[in-house]
Structure 1
Amino acid sequence: MSVVFNTASVCLAMVANSSKRRLVFLGTPSFAASVLNDLFKASQSPAAGFEVVGVVTRPPNIVPGTSSSDGSKPGGEGKPSAVQLAAETWGLPAVNIFTPHSAREPEFLSSLTRLDPDLCVTAAYGNMLPQRFLDLPRLGTLNIHPSLLPKFRGPAPVQRAVLAGVSETGVSLAYTVLRCDAGPVLAQERVQVSSDEAAPELTARLFQRGARLLLQAMPSLLDGSATPATATPQDETQALHAPKVTACAMQGAPL
């Protein structure tokens, strides 16, 4: 199942190109922004078969950050996500950057429908996607998940892998379904874990590998030869959940 396979200030021409597939990216933190940057860079090639036409991220007032000293402002209020900042840097029009509190919001779904996506890609977005969303992109929604699914499904796959002391983990490209991280897997790459590697560094490395894996798979995604039907179903007997890590569990671990 493994697949072997100058910039930031560029202003994008967002005129629809009928010869290119329309991609919408969903993500929030800095390591998701690195994936988005790689997608924007790749889309600039004349041979690229896709263009990034929209970005979805968490709203500024719930992006993790530092609260005010008097407690009057919740943590991170007014601070755009790293993904939003990356999209703005690449010149994506503000009207094509979405920050819904919920992916179920009718206005958001209507706007996304008008954007007419062919493919959606998610990386640490942080919101559950309803069926109405999943029905929109013709080629499906792919998630970059930093584990070897079905191991470590859920919100803390890297932290749980570090706590478990694994010597090997990886990254998966999996189609998004209503059940959390349970969709068929298009591609995976194994990654060795050093004994002293902390979760933030490992997370960044896994998403870098995930971006590369996605770009390697992109031609087969865009021509329709890669589909949920051709992907590998997950073995439910091997599924392992990775719930959020508590402060108590973090003590003594390189997290």
Structure 2
Amino acid sequence: MIRIENLSFAYKRAGKSHQVFEHLDIAFKPGINVILGPNGAGKSTLLKAIFGILDYKGNVFLQETPLATMALEEKISQIAYLPQMDIEQSSLTVLEMVLLGRLPELQRKVRSEDIAYAMKSMAQLNISELASRPFTALSGGQKKLVFIAQTLVRDSDIVLLDEPINALDLKRQLELCQLLRSKVQEKPITMIIVLHDINLAVRFADHLVVLRENGTLYAVGSPKEVMTERMIEDVYGVIARVSCDEDGVPVVSPLSSFAQ
């Protein structure tokens, strides 16, 4: 489990300070935790803070251990992180790119075990046929899947994914969400995922975390608890209808923006 307490962070540029969030308290439970919120709410910044690449104030705990006290190698061995920005150019093949995700385990010579993990990760994302292809020859969506495979190949207990469905078509989005769902069912992984697609979030998430535009916490809970017409109005400034399908899953139908 990941727990943040009294977390604050501000960007400083040209002598000016922009407060992203302040005194934030959130507990991320095992399962799929989806962070929702409008642009500028601090969703990606929150993932960076959890991974420890920002100079924040407050505490981030892995179980009961403050992440700030953990050695980098120990942190990397337990947490896998897919940032929003991806590398576009590389001289490596797809298989070699995925193997980079095993860096904490890799020795001077790549072991058959590492190859097996990489091939399994690619197979789960249906990109095995790309293994020998040059990374630079791939489409944007294929590159995204390679980075996801590189992140999941670690088999970490904590997985941070920043907008993983960007650049993926509808079929690939559903396949990825179904894969993530199967992984948290296999063992108690804590996944923290930033998404913009509300309907995918409510269908596959166990827990939703909603941030307002000013970075404050609006709500935490199950999709049924959190996904209301009032929340969409308050957080997104959108009038929407929220109903439930035959499986009891909330379905959001946006109607209009308050700005219109």
TM-score scaled by length of structure 1: 0.33
Choose between structure 1 and 2: higher strand proportion: 2
TM-score scaled by length of structure 2: 0.33
- Which entry has the higher C-alpha Rg, 1 or 2? 2
